[in-house]
Amino acid sequence: MIRAVLVMNTQGKPRLAKFYECQSVEKQQELIRNVFSVLCSRAENVSNFVDAQSIFGQDARLVYKHYATLYFVFIFDSSENELAMLDLIQVFVETLDKCFRNVCELDVVYNYSKMHTILDEIIFGGQVLETSSTEVIKAIEEISKLEAASNSINLVPKSVSAWRAR
């Protein structure tokens, strides 16, 4: 099971933090600080796999990928494969690139809810749902269409009632 997904910048500011286990906000902040201290202390030429038992407890592993100014971090237990998690990070980043045309930190900051929606299409409740960025993009496009249709339906009664009030 996936325990958490973190996206943070190179200064340690979390840009997305999704925990799939119930934790207090203080505990989440402490875990994010601990993860960042581990990541920034690692050399560039070492493995992207980290034993996270000292941070997240028994049976915890961490995989990360560093892209430009962002760290993408997945924390999981032994029921998940480390290479599969690294590939899942790649799927997440590819999907973000397709949605935002070369994703950068500002895209993450200003499109926070869309980023959560993308992550929810890939992982839900700590379980992997989809591993194809193409399928995730299709689902995101459908959600966007439904949102647009919902917004246009909500506009009609307001305009009709405004017309009647004249």
Of 101, 92, 77, nearest to 131 (Cα)?
92
Which pLDDT value is given to residue 155? 54
Average pLDDT, whole number, for the chain?
Answer: 84
pLDDT given for residue 32 in this prediction: 92
Domain boundaries, the chain: 2-164
| pLDDT tens-digit series, residues 57-78 | 788 889 999 888 899 999 998 8
pLDDT at 81: 87
Percent of the chain with pLDDT over 90: 36
Report the share of the chain in percent with pLDDT over 70. 91
pLDDT at 161 over 80: no
Q: What CATH code is assigned to 2-164?
A: 3.30.450.60
| Across 39-50, average pLDDT | 80
164/166 Cα distance (integer angstroms): 5
Beta-ladder partners of 124: 127
Which pTM does this prediction carry?
0.81
**Residue 158 pLDDT:** 55
> What pLDDT, on a 0 to 100 scale, did the predictor assign at position 38?
86
pLDDT digits (tens, 9 = 90+) for 93-121: 999 988 888 777 888 888 888 889 899 99
pLDDT at 154: 58
Contact 93, 103 (CB under 8 A): yes
Residue 61's pLDDT is 87
